[in-house]
A = this chain, B = another copy of it.
Amino acid sequence: MYLPFRKYIDEYSGDTMTDDEFALVKAAFTPKKIRKKQYLLQEGDVCKHLSFIIKGAMRQYTVDEKGNEHIVRFGIENWWMADRESFEFSTPTIYYIDALEDTELLQVSLANLTELKQTFPGMNKLTLALDKRGHIAAQKRITAAISLTAEEKYQNLFKIHPIFFQRFPQAMIASYLGISPETLSRIRKNSILK
């Protein structure tokens, strides 16, 4: 179970860790399983853990006054899930996170992560790289959101994350794109890409 995780860390920290270092990592993380539809986080909670997805899929979303869900992020194998703001600053979150499939996680608390970063520099490099990538990805998504039509948003997502379309219900993808499920259905009917 930990093997792909070890590989993942090596890849993103740009280094090969020793067995001793990996022992530190293992000690800092706790495995957790959650079933499909279960919540990992609910509005008002403080996000206590950063979770690495070993297997499964999750989504992070808000619920507006009308009760509509707006999916902000999906997560699959080798992605991290957390509300960064709530996790870093211990403030109540406005998001929900739940499982779209039965999911296995490795979780680390802020305290353990902070300590791990000090004892194992690779972990520091990893979180740096993640922040950088996250920031760049977020910037791209903003650009898409303000400058593309519904159809272009669809095509863009299809290009960037085709896996989403194999893995998630179309209505959720519509929510992620900020368009209605009916509109996405009609766009797909007229689009070459499917």
Contacts and interface: CB of A to CB of B under 8 A. Distances in A.
A46 to B, nearest CB: 15
Q: Count copies of this chain in the complex.
A: 2
Given A64-B147, A85-B139, A128-B128, 9 more contacts: A70-B143, A72-B139, A72-B146, A85-B136, A88-B132, A128-B131, A131-B135, A134-B135, A138-B141
Contacts of A131: 128, 131-132, 135
Interface in A44-86: 62, 64, 68, 70-72, 84-85
A41 interface: no
11 contacts: A72-B143, A84-B136, A88-B136, A128-B128, A131-B132, A131-B135, A138-B142, A142-B142, A142-B145, A145-B178, A146-B178
A106 interface: no
